[in-house]
Amino acid sequence: MSALDELRQLRKGGAQVRKGDNRAAFWFLAPWFAGLLLITVGPVLASFALGFTKYNLIQPPKLIGFDNFARILSDSRLHNALRVTFTYVLVSVPLQLACALGVAILLNRGLRGLAFYRSAFYLPSLLGSSVAIAVLWTQVFGTDGLVNRVLGFFGVEGRGWISDPDTALSTLIVLNVWTFGSPMIIFLAGLRQIPEVYYEAAAIDGASRWARFRRITLPLLSPILFFNLVLQIIHAFQSFTQAFVVSGGTGGPSDSTMFYTLYLYQQGFSRFDMGYASALAWFLLLIIAAFTAINFWAARFWVFYDD
Amino acid sequence: MSRGVRRGAVWAVLLSLTASLVACGSGSDAGGDLTTEKVTLRFTWWGADDRHKRTQQVIEMFQRKHPNITVKGEFKEWNGYWDSLATTMAANDAPDVMQMDELYIASYAERGALLDLNEAKKHLDTANFDQKALATGAIAGKQYGLPVGLGMYSIMVNLDLLAKYNIPVPDDTKWSWDDLKAIGDQVSKAGGGQVFGVQSPGINDAAGLSIRARQQGKAIFDADAKVVLPQEIARDYWQYILDLSKSGVAASPSVTIEKASAGLNQSATATGTAAFGLWWNTQLTALTAASGAKLKLLRLPGETQGASPGAYYKPSMFWSVSARSKYPAEAAAFVSFLANDEEAAKVLLTERGVPANQKIREAIAGQLKDTDKAAKEYLDTVPVSDPPRITPNGASTLDTILKRHTEDVLFGRTTPDAAAASFIKEVQSEVDAAK
């Protein structure tokens, strides 16, 4: 029985049964709705209101109009945080997706022990945003860390990767690229969907391996690539834990790892300026929305839906 | 990690929900009698394991004396402590008794979060505190914090390293900052890239800068919370730090930053990779344990060349009571116990600094380890001048602002002169923003 038949069957079913079902469903969903309203929607609306106030967490908020938003324009440390965040997003996301796609194609060849490799490559995604890995990172990239030991073995002089403002952000980018497992799994599922016959036909026509990838794999995978791109960009904009732990909460050295979210957090909880922090949160929402909109617009030119 | 972004909003709503509940319930009055009903006080502090164990023991002693009062301890490490205190305050769920720091006390007190302890005089005995010490916890005549211990800035020298390189211990009664640099240079030359002369200052706190200003008869803030630090003093301070780094007296900037950010146990002093370091005198015990070396406290350089001694008694921390505590009288009684009880003092010893309570200081003298005795002796003998003004409301980020400017200077992203101007401007704007 196809899904359409099933739907028809359901439509024919008695209206009374449906009403009872709805009521039960409502009660089962009620706890979730309560959570959504109290823990998500409520605070989101409250933060919108707080964006127009001066609020130091202890005394009641004072209305100050658009001052917080005006400050966004003139806050040079915020502009630096934006620069750091954009660099992070624009460098780490393409690299991460390239790694994910590359490994997915390798794994799709059906090698032995596939399940093991798949899990092994996926593991970093589960760990990547954890505190433990961030702590590990400070050790690996420290002056006496693993990276410098390996470099030293080859006679290359190491440096304090995390404590030097020129390289600190790169270590965080490497950390993000390393967590390519979740887009990889999605790519892998997408690759499985591409009918084998296309490749066979192309091979018979004498298409090279690169041509097959370029003309068959990429177009048919483009919706998946688009999905991963949108998701990972949003995810990267919201990165917080890594920078917080690696820099000890400071965003240092010299503000070189000052992610937007970390700056926002410092405004709210170190400077007791929750009004400004709320305005920043809404500004971040606008930035992410803009990026997503651009993505959807650009998708018309390169995403191919095969239906 | 959208949770980080959203967390702020969560607290905002919690506040609006709880705001309506303020002043409900049957609480006590700060000046009234202690209740005989069963009450629970929440008590919070930051620190390391050793402190948690000792404090828990003292809590139990207090509960035996007051069977109807339960004290619930909550402890965290330094950074998490302040984040969590800010959020619990916002949620109107602040602990009754808290460990407070000089950097934050004005920021909380001037926003009305702390109780004036004078209101609870009946339960809080301050007879054995020096007036000067008490004054460090008072703002405009209101006692927002009771000083727990006192500390002094000092130079800690690793005697083992000096002996190894055959360098005599300097005479600290009249040495200058240039003398420190010169002897540090000898150590660095002998250390061959492994051991350096001086652990670079200017990273973990602003005390070094404050000392430099005080030696020239100036200060960072004046009584009205205006930043009055002359730009030349700040410039010379960063020039000195830059010179230490460039001449190899201190380790390279990235090693310096890494070690300083990793906490006391990873510091250059604790790992025996620098012979001299600026520390609070009360850290002698912890650093001796961490380094396994013989350390000695020296007086600060430049104390005799300038206008006045830069050294002063800094309260290591305060006991404060929340202005919204339902049981201010009981909270004050607990603070009084922490500050005055001899049995409690014998458990706490100098873990929170050399006790500010003079009677207690003598009572525990016999029990102290050699390093604690040395810290106490330093406090008792080294000349000091009046303490600087409490860090004003809004300037609780002073240390992090200083650290960022030091990093900018060390990595050549700015000049000492530009750093000095930018630092003064930023600190002033932080203070103004809090008004």
Query: CA B1, B7, B13 angle in degrees (round to 5)?
Result: 150
Q: Are A129 and A243 in contact (CB under 8 A)?
A: no
The C-alpha of A224 sits at a distance from chain B's nearest C-alpha, in angstroms, of 23
Joined together, the tokens standing for residue A95 give: 């690299």
Q: Over 70: is that where the pLDDT of A16 sits?
A: no
How far from the centroid of its chain's Cα atoms is residue B43's Cα? Answer: 19
On whether any CB of chain A is under 8 Å from the CB of B10, the answer is yes
Q: With 60 as the cut, is the pLDDT of residue B15 above it?
A: no
Best of B22, B83, B254, B266 to disrupt the A interface (most A CBs within 10 Å) is B254
pLDDT of B106 > 80? The answer is: yes
Give the pair of three-digit tokens for residue A98: 């390239």
pLDDT of residue A12: 61
Planar angle of CA A7, A12, A13, nearest 5 degrees: 95
Which of A162, A239, A272 has its CB closest to that of B107? A272
Measured CA to CA, the distance from residue B154 to residue A101 in angstroms comes to 58
Residues A172-200: pLDDT tens digits? 999 899 888 889 999 999 998 889 899 89
Interchain contact B60–A (C-beta under 8 A): no
Which chain B residue has its CA at the smallest distance from A77's CA?
A: B426
Q: How confident is the model at residue B313 (pLDDT cuts 50, 70, 90)?
A: confident
Q: How far off is chain B from A150, nearest CA to CA, in Å?
A: 18
Minimal Cα–Cα distance from B230 to chain A, Å?
A: 23
Q: Mean pLDDT across the stretch A145-151?
A: 87
Q: How far apart are CA B331 and CA B34, in angstroms?
A: 10
Per-residue b or e along B394-409, where b marks 16 or more CB atoms closer than 10 Å to that residue's CB: bbbbbbbbbbbbbbbb
Put simply, the answer to whether A165 touches B255 (Cβ < 8 Å) is no
Tokens (6 digits) for B138 = 């008072």
Q: Give percent of chain B above pLDDT 70.
A: 94
Residue A144 pLDDT grade (very low, low, confident, very high; cuts 50, 70, 90):
confident
The pLDDT assigned to B274 comes to: 94
Residue A161 confidence (pLDDT): 87
**From the CB of residue B385, how many other CB atoms can be counted at a distance below 10 Å?**
16
Q: Which residues of A touch B87 (CB under 8 A)?
A: 57, 269
Domains of chain B in start order, with CATH, are 27-149+316-375 (3.40.190.10), 153-311+397-433 (3.40.190.10)
The pLDDT-based confidence of A11 (bands split at 50, 70, 90) is: low
pLDDT-wise least confident of A9-23, B88-102, B281-295:
A9-23
B14: confidence class by pLDDT, cuts 50, 70, 90: very low
- Contact (CB<8Å) A58/B83: no
**Residue bearing the bigger pLDDT, A109 or B108:** B108
Q: Is B89 on the interface with A (CB under 8 A)?
A: yes
* Helix H or strand E segment including A272: none
Q: Find, in chain B, the residue whose alpha carbon is nearest to that of A68.
A: B433
pLDDT in tens, B30-39: 777 888 889 9
Lookup: tokens for A271: 């400077």
Interface touch A56/B430, C-beta < 8 Å: no
Greatest mean pLDDT range, B54-58, B312-316, B354-358: B54-58
Rounded to whole angstroms, the Cα distance separating B183 from B177 reads 10
Given a contact cutoff of 8 angstroms between Cβ atoms, the answer to whether B185 and B179 are in contact is no
Other CB atoms within 10 A of residue B222 CB: 14
pLDDT interval class at B13 (50, 70, 90): very low
Instruction: Give the mean pLDDT of B389-412.
Output: 92
Q: Is the pLDDT of residue B277 over 50?
A: yes
The chain-wide mean pLDDT, for chain B, equals: 88
Q: Please, which pLDDT band fits residue B306 given cuts at 50, 70 and 90?
A: confident
Residues B357 and B146: their CA atoms lie apart, in Å, by 10
* Cα→Cα distances A222→A92, A185, B33, B128, Å: 19, 15, 75, 77
Q: What is the mean pLDDT of residues B267-280?
A: 92
Which of the listed ranges A217-226, B82-91, B262-271 does the model predict with the highest average pLDDT?
Answer: A217-226
CB contact under 8 A, B396 and A57: no
For residue range A200-257, what is the model confidence (pLDDT) as tens digits? 999 898 888 889 888 889 999 999 999 999 999 999 999 998 888 888 888 878 999 9
Tell me the average pLDDT across A140-154. 85
> Which of chain A's residues have a Cβ under 8 Å away from the Cβ of B196?
none
Alpha-carbon gap, residue B364 to A202, rounded angstroms: 89
- Give the residue from A141, A239, A271, A287 with the most B CB atoms within 10 Å of its CB, the best one to mutate: A271
In this prediction, residues B407-424 reach a mean pLDDT of: 95
Q: How confident is the model at residue A2 (pLDDT cuts 50, 70, 90)?
A: low
pLDDT digits (tens, 9 = 90+) for B37-62: 899 999 999 987 788 999 999 999 99
Q: State the pLDDT at residue B264.
A: 80
Contact predicate A78/A280, CB 8 Å: yes
Please report the pLDDT score of residue A13 as a whole number.
Answer: 55
ipTM: 0.83
Q: Is residue B232's pLDDT more than 90?
A: yes
Per-residue pLDDT at B17 exceeds 60: no
Q: Which of B258, B397, B435 to mutate to test the interface with A (most CBs of A within 10 A)?
A: B258
Q: State mean pLDDT over B403-425.
A: 95
Query: Closest Cα of chain B to A46: distance in Å?
Result: 6
**Structure-model confidence comparison of residues A79 and A131, the more confident one:** A79
Question: Mean of the pLDDT values across residues A105-120?
Answer: 82
Closest CA to B384 of B214, B201, B229, B156: B214
Contact call for A269 and B83, based on CB within 8 A? yes
Cβ-based neighbours of A5, under 8 Å, separated by 6 or more? none
When pLDDT is cut at 50, 70 and 90, the band that residue B71 belongs to is: very high
Q: Spell out where B243-347 has E strands.
A: 274-280, 295-298, 314-321
The residue behind tokens 């959570």 is A35
Name every residue whose Cβ is closer than 8 Å to that of residue A171 and which is 6 or more positions away in sequence: A137, A141, A161, A162, A246
**Of B199, B184, B160, nearest in space to B291 by CA:** B160
pLDDT of residue B56: 95
Nearest residue on chain B to A244, judged by CA atoms? B4
Q: Which residues of A touch B112 (CB under 8 A)?
A: 58-59
pTM: 0.85
Say whether pLDDT at B95 is over 90.
yes
Specify the pLDDT at position A305: 82
Distance CA B46, CA B25 (A): 29
**Burial class of residue A48, CB neighbours in 10 A (0-12, 13-18, 19+):** middle
Greater confidence (A306 vs B122) lies with B122
Q: How confident is the model at residue B247 (pLDDT cuts 50, 70, 90)?
A: very high
Helix (H, G, I), strand (E, B) or coil at B193: coil
Mean pLDDT, range B334-344, rounded to an integer: 94
